[in-house]
């Protein structure tokens, strides 16, 4: 039997690096000029085929074309004219890098190629990691100023300015056409999936806001234009970064498509002094042979197994008071809501904005994280204790990166905010942003949050961020653009420390809804507040986009009041529930205004959700249809026994009966019991012909179908 090839290998004689995952192979070659260049990314190839692979070259050889294959990280040197993922300037004004491979390391599933510039004190490690059982490949770069001793020539030391350091450049194979799938939106309309033909041009996906952003998410997928949920090859990537970012997709006229991406937006620079280094976040890539559905399931699996801190813990049914009470919070009102929430089966009560400082509106108090005496005369502990007695965990909203000008914190430390003294400060939602890049501000934030958690017996923090970066100055700092990186790293660090110091503490990521959802924030949080828009019809589109990359257990989804606060649309309670049950279910309405019948119906639906929770939160998700007509999502237990299908049809049309829903994930050789109707069906019938979606008549119709494999 031939030996199984290792997951990661490097052959120095041929300069050939190969990464193998269960369903894909990735290969690159270090060329004679020292540059690592892309060779292959796609379905599994055997080692002989790989050795025979020619390097891709541009078809038209002339003095105006580069003949070489795409770089793994393109420097600004030589005949390279595409977007450069590495842009550096040395003290003498020279740009770019000319590499020599100085060595490599293979440790477990990780490969590092050690590169050094031939003349300047610059070194780069290109890093690659695969994980057992996963087709996701993670890539990042560590760039170092190797100091005066690292220079081969003593006249070329001095600081190195880094204008761009991407995590990786990815290359798709030659395809007859290219289509780009990506997520765009805005506040209240995050994660809208767009699927467009890729133009022969450079297409930039970016956030310049200092947050991941509502407007674009750092995920994309490429296919040849024919892939579907079930079929076709898909190449997709996701950047693990929670600040500004930029991904440039370059389709050239000869048909080559590459994309380079990393942290920071254009125009920022960082200076490396001798001995300093800069490490990028990971940019993960995934090849899938079986359509967008399989790609999403592979990402979900990756997020669960390698990103989330506690994937096996049930996400609790939360009650959050924001839509019910806004800033008008006080002990008695919150306790009343908590009692009702407990009656409905909520497992966590979150007191949202308005509990602290002089926070009676969004004009004052941010930064002063002590309970507002008029609202909580004895502090928060009595409420926390009552909530615990009711059998729920206690959660608190915080927005630690932000400050109102009208706050004691800002009066004491006006210099702590991100600002440019010679420019007018832009207030967004009447607030300014603290510069967490400053060590004393990071220390204050950590200390304050630690105290908040300890003093009020907090089990859960909803960490919000309701503005983005403007006037991005750091007066007095020699390298002020570091703010864009250092702030984000400090946020991550504080979350990590809080979790480490308070085992059991859970954190929900929020930034005015889904403004900061990415693989880096999910590495230290349990779920994300998907959108401030809780209208169930709008949510169907938001959830569809969210699910392309992120698993349902991270998608917080509340049932709120009707008519909806954001859209004014009225929908039945059952429809609102069925939409929200597709994620981490929560409740967010003013329960004091719900009728006894509504409260009973809600309690029954919460109980039903708890039954299907293991499937939704830890099963495999199959999107049966995209929003538009009937939207349906199927959750299957990993072992294939239990199944739940949530079906929603916002608008009915005369004569258009909802068609049977095929469930292609079922085993055609098995039989399935319908747990509600008692009938048994063959898997072949359900997979091919489908199941009746059982939608009631009228608009906002929905159903939940539960199946169990019986043989």
Catalytic residues: 464, 532
**Site residue total, ligand GLA (CB under 6 A):** 11
476 Cβ contact partners less than 8 Å away, ≥ 6 residues apart: none
Q: Is 466 in the site for ligand GLA (CB under 6 A)?
A: yes
Site string for ligand GLA, 362-401 (x = CB under 6 A): -----------------------------------x----
- To which residue do tokens 């926390």 refer? 384
Comparing every residue's Cβ against ligand GLA, the nearest one is 353
Compute the least distance from the CB of residue 19 to ligand GLA, in Å: 39
Site string for ligand GLA, 297-316 (x = CB under 6 A): --------------------
| 464 near ligand GLA (CB under 6 A) | yes
Own/partner pairs, 605-609, CB within 8 angstroms, 24+ separation? 605/573, 605/574, 605/577, 605/581, 606/317, 606/344, 606/345, 606/346, 607/345, 608/581, 608/704, 609/317, 609/577, 609/581, 609/585
Residues sharing a CB contact under 8 Å with residue 46, sequence separation 6 or more, in sequence order? none
693 belongs to the binding site for ligand GLA (CB under 6 A): no
Q: How far, rounded to the nearest angstrom, does the alpha carbon of residue 617 sit from its chain's CA centroid? A: 16
Kindly tell me which of 352 and 518 has the beta carbon lying closer to ligand GLA: 352
Do residues 414 and 367 make contact, with C-beta atoms less than 8 angstroms apart? no
CB of 354 to ligand GLA, least distance (A): 8
Of 125, 190, 233, 353, which lies in the binding site for ligand GLA, with binding defined by CB under 6 A?
353
What's the closest the beta carbon of residue 706 comes to ligand GLA, in angstroms? 31
Paired with 145 in beta bridges are 122
Q: For ligand GLA, which is the closer residue by CB, 515 or 627?
A: 515
Cβ neighbours for 38, distance < 8 A, ≥ 6 positions apart = 28, 56, 69, 70, 71, 72, 169, 171, 258
Q: Which two tokens stand for residue 216?
A: 């674009």
Residue 492's closest CA among 539, 446, 423?
446
3-state secondary structure of 26: strand
SS3 letters across 434-462: ECCCCHHHHHHHHHHHHHHHHHCCCCEEE
Read off φ and ψ for residue 517, nearest 5 degrees.
-120, 120
125 binds ligand GLA (CB under 6 A): no
Indicate if the alpha-carbon torsion angle 145, 151, 153, 157 is positive or negative: positive
Q: Does 322 engage in binding with ligand GLA (CB under 6 A)?
A: yes
Range in contact with ligand GLA (rule: CB under 6 A) among 71-79, 200-208, 505-513, 589-597 = 505-513
Closer CB to ligand GLA, residue 83 or residue 367? 367
Q: Which two tokens stand for residue 317?
A: 């049914």
Contact string (CB under 6 A) for ligand GLA, positions 188-227, x = contact: ----------------------------------------
Nearest residue to 505 via CA among 614, 349, 393: 393
Q: How far apart are CA 56 and CA 45, in angstroms?
A: 17
**DSSP letters of 369-434?**
-SB-TTT-TT-SHHHHHHHHHTT-EEEEEE-TTEEESBSHHHHH-GGGB---TTSPPPPBTTEEEB
Place of tokens 């990815």: 170
Q: Among all chains, which residue has been given the structure tokens 């072992």?
A: 639
Stretch that binds ligand GLA, among 290-298, 506-514, 631-639, 675-683 (CB under 6 A): 506-514
* 529 binds ligand GLA per the rule CB under 6 A: yes
Show the tokens assigned to 547. 């699910």
CB-nearer residue toward ligand GLA: 128 or 355: 355
H helix intervals, 502-643? 536-546, 573-580, 596-618
35-43, 404-412, 471-479, 508-516 -> range binding ligand GLA (CB under 6 A) = 508-516
| Residue placing its CB nearer to ligand GLA in the complex, 130 or 351 | 351
Q: Please, which residue, 99 or 397, has the CB nearer to ligand GLA?
A: 397
Q: Which of the ranges 94-102, 246-254, 340-348, 509-517 carries the binding residues for ligand GLA, by CB under 6 A? A: 509-517
Closest by CA to 536, choosing from 517, 562, 508, is: 562
| Residue nearer to ligand GLA on the CB measure, 15 or 512 | 512
117 part of the interface to ligand GLA, by CB under 6 A = no
Q: Does 532 bind ligand GLA (CB under 6 A)?
A: yes
Binding piece for ligand GLA, criterion CB under 6 A, among 432-440, 510-518, 579-587, 674-682: 510-518
- CA angle at 128 for the pair 124 and 129, rounded to the nearest 5°: 145
Q: Which of 473, 480, 512, 545 binds ligand GLA (CB under 6 A)?
A: 512
Peptide bond into 526 cis (omega under 30): no
Options 232, 345, 473, 513; binder of ligand GLA; rule CB under 6 A: 513
Give contact residues for ligand GLA (rule: CB under 6 A): 322, 352-353, 397, 464, 466, 510, 512-513, 529, 532
């Amino acid at each position: 039997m031939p030996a199984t090839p290792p997951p990661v290998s490097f052959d120095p004689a041929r300069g050939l690096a190969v990464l193998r995952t269960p369903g894909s192979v990735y290969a690159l070659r270090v060329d004679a000029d020292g540059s690592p260049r892309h060779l292959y990314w796609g379905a599994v190839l055997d080692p002989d085929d790989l050795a025979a692979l020619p390097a891709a070259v541009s078809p038209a050889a002339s003095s105006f074309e580069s003949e070489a294959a795409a770089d793994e990280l393109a420097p600004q040197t030589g005949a390279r004219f595409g977007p450069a993922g590495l842009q550096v300037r040395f003290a003498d004004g020279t740009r770019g890098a000319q590499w020599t491979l100085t060595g490599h390391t293979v440790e477990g599933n990780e490969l590092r190629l050690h590169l050094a510039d031939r003349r300047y004190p610059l070194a780069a490690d290109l890093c690659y990691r695969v994980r057992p059982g996963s087709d996701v490949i993670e890539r990042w770069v560590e760039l170092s100023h190797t100091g005066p001793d690292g220079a081969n020539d003593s006249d070329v030391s001095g600081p190195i300015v880094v204008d761009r350091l991407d995590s990786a450049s990815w290359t798709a194979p030659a395809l007859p056409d290219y289509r780009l799938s990506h997520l765009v939106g805005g506040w209240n309309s995050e994660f809208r999936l767009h699927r467009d033909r890729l133009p022969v041009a450079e297409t930039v996906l970016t956030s310049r806001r200092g947050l991941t952003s509502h407007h674009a998410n750092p995920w994309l997928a490429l296919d040849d234009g024919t892939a579907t949920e079930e079929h076709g090859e898909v190449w997709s990537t996701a950047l693990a970064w929670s600040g500004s970012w930029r991904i440039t997709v370059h389709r050239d006229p000869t048909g080559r498509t590459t994309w380079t991406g990393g942290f920071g937006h254009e125009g920022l620079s960082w200076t490396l002094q001798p001995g300093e280094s800069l490490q990028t976040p990971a940019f993960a890539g995934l090849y899938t042979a079986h359509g967008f559905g399989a790609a999403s399931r592979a990402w979900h699996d990756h997020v669960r197994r390698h990103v989330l801190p506690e994937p096996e813990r049930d996400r609790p049914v939360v009650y959050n008071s924001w839509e019910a009470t806004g800033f008008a919070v006080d002990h008695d009102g919150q306790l009343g809501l908590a009692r009702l929430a407990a009656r409905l089966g909520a497992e966590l009560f979150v007191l949202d904005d308005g509990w602290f400082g002089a926070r009676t509106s969004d004009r004052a108090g941010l930064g002063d994280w002590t309970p507002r005496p008029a609202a909580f005369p004895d502090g928060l502990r009595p409420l926390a204790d009552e909530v615990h007695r009711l059998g729920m965990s206690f959660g608190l909203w915080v927005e630690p990166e932000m400050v109102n000008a009208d706050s004691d914190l800002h009066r004491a430390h006006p210099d702590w905010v991100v600002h440019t003294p010679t420019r007018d400060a832009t207030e967004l939602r009447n607030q300014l942003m603290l510069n967490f890049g400053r060590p004393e501000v990071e220390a204050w934030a950590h200390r304050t949050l630690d105290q908040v958690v300890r003093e009020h017996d907090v089990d859960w923090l909803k960490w919000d961020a309701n503005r983005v970066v403007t006037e991005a100055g750091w007066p007095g700092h020699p390298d002020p653009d570091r703010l864009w990186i250092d702030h984000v790293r400090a946020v991550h660090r504080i979350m990590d420390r809080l979790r480490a110091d308070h085992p059991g503490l859970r954190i929900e990521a929020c930034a005015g809804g889904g403004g900061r959802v990415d693989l880096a924030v999910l590495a230290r949080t349990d779920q994300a507040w998907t959108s401030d828009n809780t209208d169930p019809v709008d949510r169907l589109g938001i959830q569809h986009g969210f699910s392309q990359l992120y698993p349902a257990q991270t998608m917080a989804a509340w049932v709120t009041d009707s008519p909806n606060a954001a859209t004014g649309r009225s929908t039945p309670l059952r429809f609102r529930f069925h939409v929200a049950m597709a994620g981490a279910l929560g409740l967010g309405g003013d329960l004091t205004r719900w009728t006894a019948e509504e409260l009973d119906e809600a309690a029954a639906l919460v109980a039903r959700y708890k039954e299907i929770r293991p499937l939704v939160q830890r099963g495999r998700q199959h999107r049966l249809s995209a929003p538009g007509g009937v939207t349906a999502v199927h959750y299957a237990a990993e072992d294939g026994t239990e199944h739940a299908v949530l079906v929603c049809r916002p608008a009915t049309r005369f004569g258009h009966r909802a068609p049977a829903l095929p469930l292609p994930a079922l085993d055609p050789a098995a039989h399935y019991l319908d747990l509600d109707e008692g009938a048994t069906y063959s898997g072949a019938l359900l997979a091919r012909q489908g199941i009746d979606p059982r939608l009631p008549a009228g608009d906002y119709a929905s159903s939940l179908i539960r199946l169990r494999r019986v043989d």
